[in-house]
Structure 1
Amino acid sequence: MLDGKTIAFLVAPEGVEQVELTEPWKAVKQAGGTPRLVSTASGQAQGFNHLDKADTFAVDDTVDDVDAASFDGLVLPGGVANPDFLRTVPQAVRFVRAFFDSGKPVAAICHAPWTLIEADVVRGRTLTSWPSLQTDLRNAGATWVDKEVVVCTEGPNTLVTSRKPDDLKAFCQAATDAFS
């Protein structure tokens, strides 16, 4: 159970794959945790269903106003545009890196490991992702595997990764287990 635990969900202002945000969010809440939406800008974050605009979500905090010490874990949802944008924002990359530096669990799905590569936290780790990232991950020093979910404890923290929305059930379970 996640009673009393607060989990950050880091997203760009536009481009997050909606189901990769909403399903882990529900899982954290159902496990008794408190999810918080963190972005690079205040206001609303635009969700997408693949390439089509979907719902918007109220941003709770910006990366400029919080730090990893305020949270017990981090979820990085995917979508192509979401992590591609986040990896270009130094404050977002530092925010992600801080979870690894402090040994806190991180869960990343689909294209989200792009942000992990930019934070230089995948070297020596085993993980999965959307298949098109496998060369990027290997070039960054990771071992890439094609599995529904990978829980890697090789390193300073627990890292949970999955490939795609079809893996969400396993991803949500592994993430909430890591956060507890």
Structure 2
Amino acid sequence: MAVKDAKVLIIVNNWGIEETELTRPLRDLKAAGADVTLAATTLDPCETVEHDRYEGETLTPDAKMSDVQAADYDLLVVPGGTCNVDRVRVNEDAITLAQEFAHEGKPIAAICHGAWLLVNADLVEGKTLSPCRYIAADIENAGGHYVDEQLTVDDENGWRLITSRKPADLDAFVGAIKDTLEA
């Protein structure tokens, strides 16, 4: 498939999302022609932050997480932001979506704290990941292998997992998403 034919789902809480970890994949994939849906906990505006601290851009979600299904998409993106993912990782709709993507053999891309969702969804066992260092122990305790690298692409257990550590890794992260959609 080509990126222009892909349907991508990005899931977030309505606040606390690391701005560039949401806006770069969202805008870069749209610019490449992908059909990108931003799904949030509610239809309220999504308030982003810079470095978990400074006010960022506000975006309008396209849908509620509870109203989307993995079957309708080709790839799932989970942006970081400590407060964002701290809420997303306990959201039953988010957990179910992640599990459905993995069980359907569809790729998941998670940056920074985004991999926390995969811990709660019981999806990291046997996988190698490169999230932010702050959740390394969570990854290891859940049976995954943490590495401190700009990008890790892991195809174990029948589905592709793309992970990166931080906003500085976004070029590699978005590039790997595009490469995966082109494969």
Give the TM-score category using the shorter length. Answer: over 0.9
Letter aligned with residue 11 of structure 1: V
The answer for unaligned runs of 5 or more in structure 1 is: none
Distance 1:175 1:36 in 2: 15
Shift of 1:25: 1.4
Match of 2:139 among 124, 137, 140: 137
Matches of 2:170 and 2:66, distance apart in 1: 29
TM-score, normalised to structure 1, is: 0.96
For 1:7-86, list aligned pairs within 5 A.
Answer: 7-50=8-51, 51-86=53-88
Q: After alignment, is 164-173 or 87-96 more displaced? A: 87-96
TM-score norm. by structure 2 comes to 0.95
Q: Which amino acid is the alignment partner of residue 129 of structure 1?
A: P
State, as a whole percentage, how many aligned pairs show the same letter: 37
Please identify runs of 4+ aligned residues in structure 1 that moved more than 2 A.
Answer: none
Q: Give the deviation of 1:139 after TM superposition.
A: 0.3
- What SS class does the counterpart of residue 77 from structure 2 fall into? strand
Q: Residue in 2 aligned with 1:147?
A: 149
* SS of residue in 2 equivalent to 1:83: helix
Unaligned runs of 5+ in 2: none
The alignment of Structure 1 onto Structure 2 pairs a total of residues equal to 180
Match of 1:160 among 156, 159, 162: 162
Shift of 1:5: 1.2
Query: What is the aligned partner in structure 2 of residue 5 from structure 1?
Result: 6
Q: Determine if contact 1:27/1:176 at 8 Å carries over to the other structure.
A: no
> Could you say which structure has the higher helix fraction?
2
Distance apart, 1:179 and its partner CA: 2.3
Tell me the alpha carbon deviations over residues 148-167 of structure 1, each in whole angstroms, 9 at most, x when there is no partner.
00000112211100000111
